[in-house]
Amino acid sequence: MISSMGYVFIAARDPQQWLSYGTEVLGMMQAPGMPAGDSVYLKIDERPFRFAVVPGEEDHLLCCGLEVRDGAALDQLCKRLEEAGVAFAWGSAAEAGERCVRRFIRCSDPSGNRLEIYCGATLDYLKFVSPQGIAGFETGCNGSAGFGHAVLPASKLEETHAFYTELLGMGDTDYMNFRFSEDPADPGLGLYFLHADNPRHHSLALFECENAAGCIHLMLEVSTVDEVGYCLDRVLARDIPVTSTLGRHTNDRMLSFYMMTPGGFPLEFGCQGLQMDWSDYTPTVSATPSLWGHKFAL
């Protein structure tokens, strides 16, 4: 039922830090169609914005915006939430206008991650011109594959997994017991990878932990290995902490590295993620996160 990971809202003590990080390091564009006030809106494709950074007391992820195909899908989803006793509230027309969507609801998953679920996203078609010369980000036709993916903390892992699969209709892609050490006795932590109704291998993953920043990482995907390399150079030139070296993931084959953001959580910057056909797919269990590389600094 969920079609993509559409946008995120991020709270920041200084949103201007995200403006310089987003434009100078990630190569995102300050959204020309959005208000330029205390908040910072960043654009990567036909959508008016993908990251909205709003002033806050702490640096953390505020919420993820999940897209559904149309109003009927949103109404059906609300009915399911009601029947399951999950609290939700409609955003006002003014708030929908600020997000450039027709209608949306707010709710939380069982681990407390805040969500907005919306339909009727506006495409402003304002040309995406990357300040770093990136030709484009991989977001599908008209941005229908979403900005990338988010990995969220899920202290109540099984309950949270059931919420996304049974109520929001996301599909299982892969499961992993993520170990931080080579110790075979390390039980690891559970990590579910879920897909939405688009070819991206996963739009959301749930990691069995608590996390003050409200986010394990966000991922953006570019079209070429060189764009990943150029970004890594920009990160190193600014002494931004690299939280994982370059590597290739097993399950989505993403070639990527991870860096720290001003939000207190990392961002994965990659390319070559798999495009899946869900009509012919069996969920997998992966024994290891990466084919090579991805040495995490913890």
What does the binding site for Fe ion look like in residue numbers (CB under 5 A)? Answer: 219, 268
Compare residues 59 and 252 and give the one whose CB is closer to Fe ion. 252
- Comparing CB distances to Fe ion, the nearer of 52 and 151 is 151
C-beta closer to Fe ion: residue 138 or 268: 268
Q: Answer for the pair 144, 2: CB distance below 8 angstroms, yes or no.
A: no
d(CA 80, CA 97): 25
| Residue 11: half-sphere exposure toward Cβ, Cα within 13 Å | 13
CB of 255 to Fe ion, least distance (A): 12
Helix (H, G, I), strand (E, B) or coil at 231: helix
Could you tell me the smallest distance in angstroms from the CB atom of residue 126 to Fe ion?
Answer: 28
Between 67 and 174, CB nearer to Fe ion = 174
Please say which residue, 107 or 246, places its beta carbon nearer to Fe ion: 246
C-beta closer to Fe ion: residue 74 or 231: 231
How many Å apart are CA 210 and CA 295, to the nearest integer?
Answer: 22
- Spell out the residues 6+ positions from residue 141 whose beta carbon is closer than 8 angstroms to its own: none
- Cβ of residue 62: shortest distance to Fe ion, in angstroms? 20
**At closest approach, how far in Å is the CB of 166 from Fe ion?**
24
- Least distance (Å) from Fe ion to the CB of residue 103? 29
Give, in degrees to the nearest 5, the angle at Cα 248 between 240 and 145.
85
Place of tokens 């309950």: 159
57 token code pair: 């007391």
- The gap from C-alpha 241 to its chain's centroid, in whole angstroms, comes to 20
CB of residue 191 to Fe ion, shortest distance in Å: 10
Other residues' Cβ atoms within 10 Å of the Cβ of residue 204: 26
